[in-house]
Amino acid sequence: MKHICCIILCFCTSIGSYAQNFADYFQNKTLRVDYIFTGDATQQAIYLDELSQLPTWAGRQHHLSELPLEGNGQIIVKDLASKQCIYKTSFSSLFQEWLSTDEAKETAKGFENTFLLPYPKQPVEIEVTLYSPRKKTMATYKHIVRPNDILIHKRGVSHVTPHRYMLQSGNEKDCIDVAILAEGYTEKEMDIFYQDAQRTCESLFSYEPFRSMKGKFNIVAVASPSTDSGVSVPRENLWKETAIHSHFDTFY
């Protein structure tokens, strides 16, 4: 019994010593990293597009070096000086889904990808890896981020898009933030957008498990205006000039 207690005590001590304090490595800001995933069915590559700084961090502050879910891609952030892993996250991208199409066997394309990471206090090394469905490494890319880099674009301080909360249950540290974007609504149609967003919010929380967890969510409607009303439908030769340039027939 004494041996068992000793083992448990050592295990708990090990966990405690490994646990990371968010404030030791990160600021209460967000590092937005934009990558371009390129290639075809046989060969892929990753390129850095832009770095941006956002005012606050709304992501997790515990279990930083653990993967919450397993995906087809992974991002690892390491302290540059010690090489210690201080943050890890996973993803599955549209680019990787496209690789399974017939088009990917004939041509190469590039897809934009945006990831939000906690903003480091000290220089870090970021490693991005893409995996195949069988977990074979398809592409990997490493780069260094220095938090005082003058080319990191500060966003979210000015020219903020008008928005309205449909549901506000608490701050970003305690709640899951969901944004509803006004895609295909002109400036004159924003009242209609807010009505549609409210109906969407009410519909979402009429079902479990969202109904019982409603107090854990913030829902914000972002009034991003489009030049044209409606969305693009390529199969109907219908193209619209909209806020985020979305369209149906993704893999047409």
Q: Which of 100, 125, 154 is the last residue of a domain?
A: 154
Would the pLDDT of 215 be above 90? yes
For residue 18, the model assigns a pLDDT of: 52
Would the pLDDT of 201 be above 90? yes
Would the pLDDT of 14 be above 70? no
Would the pLDDT of 15 be above 50? no
Indicate if 149 and 178 belong to the same structural domain: no
User: Rounded to whole angstroms, how far apart are CA atoms 90 and 76?
Assistant: 9
For residue 67, the model assigns a pLDDT of: 87
Indicate if 189 and 83 belong to the same structural domain: no
Would the pLDDT of 1 be above 70? no
User: Rounded to whole angstroms, how far apart are CA atoms 87 and 250?
Assistant: 32
Indicate if 34 and 138 belong to the same structural domain: yes
Indicate if 192 and 75 belong to the same structural domain: no
Q: Smallest Cα–Cα separation from 35: which of 163, 103, 130?
A: 130
Mean confidence (pLDDT) of the chain: 92
Indicate if 128 and 179 belong to the same structural domain: no
If pLDDT is split at 50, 70 and 90, which confidence band does 70 have?
A: confident
**For residues 136-149, b (16+ Cβ closer than 10 Å) or e, as one string?**
eebbeeeeebebee
If pLDDT is split at 50, 70 and 90, which confidence band does 157 have?
A: confident
Q: Is 85 part of a structural domain of the chain?
A: yes
Q: Is 168 part of a structural domain of the chain?
A: yes
Indicate if 102 and 150 belong to the same structural domain: yes
Fill in the DSSP letter of residue 227: S
Angle formed at CA 40 by CA 36 and CA 42, multiple of 5 degrees: 125
Q: Is 140 part of a structural domain of the chain?
A: yes
Averaged pLDDT for residues 169-178 = 91
Would the pLDDT of 94 be above 90? yes
Averaged pLDDT for residues 186-198 = 98
**Structural domain boundaries, residue 216:** 163-236
Please tell me the total number of residues recorded for the chain in this structure.
252
Q: Is 13 part of a structural domain of the chain?
A: no
CATH number for the domain spanning 132: value is: 2.60.40.3250
Indicate if 122 and 178 belong to the same structural domain: no
- The pLDDT > 90 percentage for the chain reads 86
Indicate if 107 and 220 belong to the same structural domain: no
Q: Is 201 part of a structural domain of the chain?
A: yes
Q: Is 79 part of a structural domain of the chain?
A: yes
For residue 19, the model assigns a pLDDT of: 61
Q: Is 8 part of a structural domain of the chain?
A: no
Q: Which of 154, 174, 189 is the last residue of a domain?
A: 154
Averaged pLDDT for residues 234-238 = 95
Indicate if 31 and 141 belong to the same structural domain: yes
Q: Which of 154, 182, 209 is the last residue of a domain?
A: 154
Q: What is the pLDDT of residues 112-153, one digit of tens each?
A: 999 999 999 999 999 999 999 999 999 999 999 999 999 999
Averaged pLDDT for residues 163-187 = 95
Number of domains in the chain: 2
Indicate if 64 and 89 belong to the same structural domain: yes
Indicate if 61 and 86 belong to the same structural domain: yes
Indicate if 26 and 79 belong to the same structural domain: yes
Would the pLDDT of 86 be above 80? yes
For residue 16, the model assigns a pLDDT of: 43
